[in-house]
């Protein structure tokens, strides 16, 4: 660590501190990234050391999306926060700070090593998303209950953790407790758990462990069922056919109908309802299955596009690498020859030649980039056309299906009017009224109320069908627009970054050449 940047006063984690930390450890890993650490992109940094900076607050890390290892030990941090964008983080060291609560780890789901030793933490909690955790260190904290350690049983890959220096150590030899409840654990407090300890622990805690195992198995099965259900619902939403596999739409049509139950009790209505529900269910199920098939086709098209895009970018990078390797070899020879020259005129000619070669390199790299841009533009246009056709095709299928649903509703409405007319006549003549429920008689004693109830129900049913059609067609259209916009935005970002890298690399070559003058 550079002695000139040791911080003695408490400070916030700002861009200046981050920039300096990057400069201290920067190693170029891209052939176009010349070794000027002040201009490094934060999203390229994979490791960051910020220990002994007296940092109070974790902040300004949103650009470090490639970061895999973060050292923040020996600071003055009081709260775990600011890690939301570190989606590739696998190692986090927050030991020797002032942290009182485990929190803020929801987004670092790839984390494998977590060091929280020498803090003020009293409860092990809020780590549910860390399914890849293999090493956990929480020694010298304030954990008061040994049972709290059982929270860690959910981490099936856990191989080692350190617990020493916590108040629960007063509860006796906890090594047997840990060995019993964590049979796959290899190391405890930096010491290997031997077979003798494991065997004694398994005997001592056999009945308790068997009961806990069965309870955990039941919870695990329930959680798996929930995850499968959620994955299924997500697939249905992604296909824009959620809740179309069955009679859900039909039931929602009648759900808010205040007089539906009364009408359904009338003679002859029940068979109409059952037939209507069956026909609607069949139509919706057909659309549901077709929607899943179309979703699979779209997903295949999307994957194919991104595969072609990756290949085009990789091919361009390989050509650029070959071009740069050849240039760097020749440029090194030219600069070495230049350093041997003493005649000013000859040196000037040689320098002009070197500048000309640098300009030619710049032009060739730019040409390569522009060729890639043109190629990608054609690929994006073709992809957009194919996806648009798929979206249009499925939208037309959906519109046809919902049109059939409206036809069924019209047919049901007409038949209900006929049934209602017969019941009105029966009630008006006072004939066989004893066969009708009292609430049906009350409703059908008012002809206008019956007609109004049927018309209102019909309009509400059509509205539900129209709303579901609109939800599907607008949803899939918005998905297409967002997809294409995202692809174009990312391509523009990639292009601008590459052009910037080329200019920076060439500028650096020119600066180095000027130093030889």
Evaluate whether residue 323 is within a structural domain: yes
Q: Which helix (H) or strand (E) holds 506?
A: helix 447-515
Evaluate whether residue 240 is within a structural domain: no
pLDDT tens per residue, range 97-124: 999 999 999 999 999 999 999 999 999 9
pLDDT tens per residue, range 209-232: 788 888 888 988 998 999 999 999
253 and 373 co-located in one domain: yes
CATH number at residue 123: 3.80.10.10
220 and 253 co-located in one domain: no
266 and 372 co-located in one domain: yes
Domain that holds residue 204: 15-224
Give the HSE-up count for residue 490: Cα atoms under 13 Å, Cβ half-sphere. 12
pLDDT at 73 over 80: yes
For all residues of the chain together, what is the average pLDDT?
88
Beta strands in 317-447 (DSSP E): none
411 and 508 co-located in one domain: yes
Q: How far is CA 45 from CA 29, 36, 143, in A?
A: 10, 14, 35
188 and 253 co-located in one domain: no
Model confidence at 5, pLDDT cuts 50, 70, 90, reads very low
Q: Which of 207, 156, 149 is nearest to 184 (CA)?
A: 156
Point out which residues pair with 162 in neighbouring strands.
137
Evaluate whether residue 125 is within a structural domain: yes
- The C-alpha atoms of residue 73 and residue 111 are separated, in whole angstroms, by 16
pLDDT at 30 over 90: no
Percent of the chain at pLDDT above 90?
Answer: 63
Evaluate whether residue 6 is within a structural domain: no
Evaluate whether residue 286 is within a structural domain: yes
pLDDT at 411 over 50: yes
Q: SS3 string of 57-80?
A: ECCCCCCCCCCCEEECCCCCCCCC
3-state secondary structure of 56: strand
pLDDT at 7 over 50: no
Quote the pLDDT of residue 462.
95
Longest dimension (CA), the chain: 126
Point out which residues pair with 48 in neighbouring strands.
70
- The C-alpha atoms of residue 410 and residue 403 are separated, in whole angstroms, by 11
Quote the pLDDT of residue 430.
62
Q: Is 203 or 358 the better-scoring residue by pLDDT? A: 358
- The C-alpha atoms of residue 403 and residue 465 are separated, in whole angstroms, by 9
- The C-alpha atoms of residue 29 and residue 349 are separated, in whole angstroms, by 34
- The C-alpha atoms of residue 316 and residue 338 are separated, in whole angstroms, by 32
75 and 163 co-located in one domain: yes
Q: CB-based burial of residue 93 (10 Å sphere; 0-12 exposed, 13-18 middle, 19+ buried)?
A: buried
Evaluate whether residue 399 is within a structural domain: yes
Quote the pLDDT of residue 449.
78
Q: Indicate the number of domains in the chain.
A: 2
Q: Which helix (H) or strand (E) holds 192?
A: strand 191-192
Top mean-pLDDT range of 19-33, 343-357, 371-385:
371-385
355 and 411 co-located in one domain: yes
220 and 257 co-located in one domain: no
191 and 48 co-located in one domain: yes
252 and 216 co-located in one domain: no
For range 489-499, the mean pLDDT: 95
Q: Is 308 or 33 the better-scoring residue by pLDDT? A: 308
Quote the pLDDT of residue 309.
96
- The C-alpha atoms of residue 299 and residue 83 are separated, in whole angstroms, by 31
Between helix 344-429 and helix 269-340 the angle, nearest 10°, is: 180
Q: SS3 string of 226-259?
A: HHHHHHHHHHHHHCCCCCCCCCHHHHHHHHCCCC
- The C-alpha atoms of residue 55 and residue 41 are separated, in whole angstroms, by 22
For range 68-97, the mean pLDDT: 96
pLDDT at 37 over 80: no
Quote the pLDDT of residue 433.
54
pLDDT at 27 over 60: no
Point out which residues pair with 188 in neighbouring strands.
161, 191
Model confidence at 434, pLDDT cuts 50, 70, 90, reads low
Give the HSE-up count for residue 284: Cα atoms under 13 Å, Cβ half-sphere. 26
pLDDT at 190 over 50: yes
CB atoms within 10 A of CB 338: 17
pLDDT tens per residue, range 300-326: 999 999 999 999 999 999 999 999 999
471 and 511 co-located in one domain: yes
For range 192-202, the mean pLDDT: 87
295 and 196 co-located in one domain: no
pTM over 0.75: no
Evaluate whether residue 54 is within a structural domain: yes
- The C-alpha atoms of residue 459 and residue 439 are separated, in whole angstroms, by 23
Evaluate whether residue 242 is within a structural domain: no
pLDDT tens per residue, range 117-164: 999 999 999 999 999 999 999 999 999 998 899 999 989 999 999 999
Quote the pLDDT of residue 6.
45
Dihedral of alpha carbons 460, 466, 472, 475, sign: negative
């Amino acid at each position: 660590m550079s002695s000139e940047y040791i911080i003695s006063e408490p400070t916030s984690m700002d861009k200046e501190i981050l920039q300096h930390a990057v400069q201290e450890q920067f190693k170029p890993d891209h052939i176009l990234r010349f070794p000027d650490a002040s201009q490094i992109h934060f999203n390229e940094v994979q490791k960051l050391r910020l220990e002994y900076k007296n940092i109070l607050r974790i902040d300004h890390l949103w650009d470090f999306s490639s970061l895999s290892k973060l050292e923040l030990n020996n600071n003055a941090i009081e709260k775990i926060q600011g890690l939301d964008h570190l989606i590739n983080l696998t190692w986090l060291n927050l030991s020797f700070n002032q942290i009182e609560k485990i929190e803020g780890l929801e987004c670092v789901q790839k984390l494998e090593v977590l060091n929280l030793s020498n803090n003020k933490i009293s409860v092990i909690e809020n780590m549910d998303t860390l399914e890849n955790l293999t090493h956990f260190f929480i020694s010298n904290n304030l954990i008061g209950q040994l049972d709290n350690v059982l929270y860690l049983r959910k981490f099936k890959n856990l191989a080692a953790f350190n617990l020493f220096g916590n108040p629960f150590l007063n509860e006796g030899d906890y090594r047997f407790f840990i060995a019993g409840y964590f049979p796959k654990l290899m190391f405890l407090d930096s010491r290997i758990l031997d077979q003798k300890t494991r065997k004694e622990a398994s005997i001592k805690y056999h009945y308790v462990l068997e009961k806990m195992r069965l309870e955990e198995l039941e919870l695990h099965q329930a959680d798996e069922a929930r995850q499968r259900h959620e994955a299924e619902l997500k697939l249905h939403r992604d296909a824009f056919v959620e809740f179309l596999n069955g009679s859900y739409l039909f039931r929602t049509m009648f759900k808010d109908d205040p007089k539906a139950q009364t009408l359904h009790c009338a003679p002859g209505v029940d068979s109409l309802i059952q037939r209507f529900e069956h026909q609607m269910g069949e139509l919706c199920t057909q659309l549901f299955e077709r929607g899943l098939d179309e979703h699979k086709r779209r997903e295949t098209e999307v994957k194919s596009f991104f595969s072609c895009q990756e290949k085009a970018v990789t091919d361009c990078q390989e050509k650029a690498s070959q071009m740069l390797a050849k240039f760097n070899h020749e440029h090194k020879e030219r600069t070495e020859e230049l350093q041997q020259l003493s005649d000013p005129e000859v040196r000037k000619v040689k320098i002009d030649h070197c500048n000309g070669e640098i300009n030619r390199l710049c032009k060739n790299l730019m040409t390569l980039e522009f060729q890639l841009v043109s190629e990608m533009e054609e690929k994006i246009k073709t992809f957009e056309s194919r996806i648009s056709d798929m979206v249009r095709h499925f939208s037309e299928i959906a519109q046809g299906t919902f049109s059939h649903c409206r036809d069924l509703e019209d047919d049901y409405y007409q038949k209900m009017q006929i049934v209602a007319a017969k019941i009105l006549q029966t009630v008006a003549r006072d004939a066989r009224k004893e066969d009708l429920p009292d609430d049906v008689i009350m409703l059908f004693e008012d002809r206008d109320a019956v007609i109004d109830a049927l018309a209102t129900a019909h309009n509400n049913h059509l509205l539900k069908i129209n709303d579901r059609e609109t939800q599907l067609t607008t949803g899939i259209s918005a998905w297409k627009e967002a997809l294409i916009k995202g692809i174009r935005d990312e391509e523009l970002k990639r292009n601008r970054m590459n052009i910037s890298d080329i200019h920076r690399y060439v500028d650096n070559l020119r600066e180095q050449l000027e130093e030889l003058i």
